[in-house]
Structure 1
């Protein structure tokens, strides 16, 4: 794997390239960085040139140059990265909030991506009663701090907080500090931008990009229900992928096989 940096206005985007074949960009969501795809990447690198990256404000791409419309800023950074890679229309798997970024990117650059697999994009418009019951996480963060916000967000989203190692290594301690900083960006800027994002259905339908909305098996969770709602609003049904919201990490081989199958269907 080769790690590179791309200088963009106000930041340096760190990205990784592995494998060979058609270019496949993996876009993480929320506070996640490229390491979220650590298990998935080797399952794809035998057939794709896999590119992963840390979005602006996250982990290696940490910066204070963050717009209130961080979704739009992230979308512009993706376009700069695609221009740097210079591979023509590419395929993209985007997870959660990263899928929101790529949907916005599709509206702005409707031919830059060949196929977008948007995995459980949490589009607020389609949450219904789940949105009404969702706590004000940014307010909890401002008033009670990061730990309280993490607990409230994970519980409301239907996610389990992974157990902490009893005797963490120096690397795990450093990763914990980095993730804490990522959550501060997520709660302070990104979550609000994601929640405020509205899909331009007409533009998405008219784009040259083939949009595949994917969901996992965690029926009833906000991200799952939002994915179903978006897929139907675009005139179709979601495609089932293995595992839950993080199926690419928990079931990487099965997830990779389903992704490759989905991308092959474009031909």
Structure 2
């Protein structure tokens, strides 16, 4: 796999690391969880045969530091400012304006990245040809939204009182199918409730070890600053309906009934659109990269 060209984009309050491959119309990939641009390593090369493929680390994650990083919510219970969906969508827009200033682009967003992408579509629809949104957990659209608000409160309280890993376990349990046993995966495809070593295994290739280390280091910021704001976000359904011909809502074959799948399915039904199914579950992008990329390529060509 060839190495992408990399760059940095100054945005208000942060500096974004981004990667570019290929030539052609722009396809912007917006990651979810703590995966960052590296989450797309398994699909970007194939997509770059048709598109200029750009991916990036969202502000505050991995290689996109905030100008004045704040300590995450810790055991002492100190609260920090949450991230803003609108601000993350503005970052994506700035990348579109940098890399495709004269032409609208195609966008793919996964999980929390799909939430930012939905906001971008409603705010600046003229800048998007198509958006494929994979399992955006916009739980405020669901009839049982109050249940999920209570989940977020439990995650926050657990994070304050007990720390990161117990809070991750509470969060993972809330994303499962009702009555499901077993472990949920985090943004890097790892069981969220499994113990993690302080350092990546020594036998990993250097690039994979660096990615694993970044993923684990980003978990406190993701859980404490991104999850509360993003999962409390309520999209403008009237504006989304008005541009729904540009929107492809998607879920994983193996995540039917899980919370992020439910929100995608709810929106697809609300807008009278067919729900596109990708291989794997919520993290199918990393567990089934070749098949996932094929489905995404077909969805972008329609």
Alignment match, 2:110: 95
Match runs of 1:223-242 below 5 Å: 223-242=260-279
1:247 aligned onto 2:284: yes
2 CA distance for matches of 1:22 and 1:247? Answer: 25
Deviations, residues 45-64 of structure 1 (Å, cap 9, x unaligned): 22221101000011000214
Deviation at 1:237, TM superposition (A): 2.8
Aligned partner of 1:2 among 1, 5, 24 = 5
Match runs of 1:174-185 below 5 Å: 174-185=210-221
DSSP-derived class of the 2:264 partner: helix
Q: Aligned-pair RMSD on alpha carbons?
A: 2.4
Alignment match, 2:37: 34
| Structure 1: stretches of 5+ with no match in the other structure | none
Alignment match, 1:77: 91
2 CA distance for matches of 1:233 and 1:81? Answer: 30
Match runs of 1:1-267 below 5 Å: 1-63=4-66, 64=68, 68-87=82-101, 88-129=103-144, 132=147, 134=151, 136-158=154-176, 159-160=184-185, 161-162=190-191, 167=202, 171=206, 174-207=210-243, 210-217=246-253, 218-265=255-302
2 CA distance for matches of 1:209 and 1:114? Answer: 10
DSSP-derived class of the 2:115 partner: helix
| Structure 2: stretches of 5+ with no match in the other structure | 71-80, 177-183
2 CA distance for matches of 1:190 and 1:156? Answer: 16
1 CA distance for matches of 2:69 and 2:111? Answer: 23
Do the aligned residues in 2 keep the contact of 1:28 with 1:98 (CA within 8 Å)?
yes
- Using the TM superposition, name which of 166-175 and 209-218 deviates more: 166-175
Give the TM-score taking structure 1 as reference length. Answer: 0.89
DSSP-derived class of the 2:63 partner: helix
Deviation at 1:120, TM superposition (A): 0.6
1 CA distance for matches of 2:202 and 2:266? Answer: 43
DSSP-derived class of the 1:40 partner: helix
- Using the TM superposition, name which of 63-72 and 51-60 deviates more: 63-72
DSSP-derived class of the 2:159 partner: helix
Aligned length: 265
2 CA distance for matches of 1:35 and 1:223? Answer: 22
Q: 1:131 to 1:182 in 2, by over 3 A?
A: farther
Deviation at 1:70, TM superposition (A): 1.6
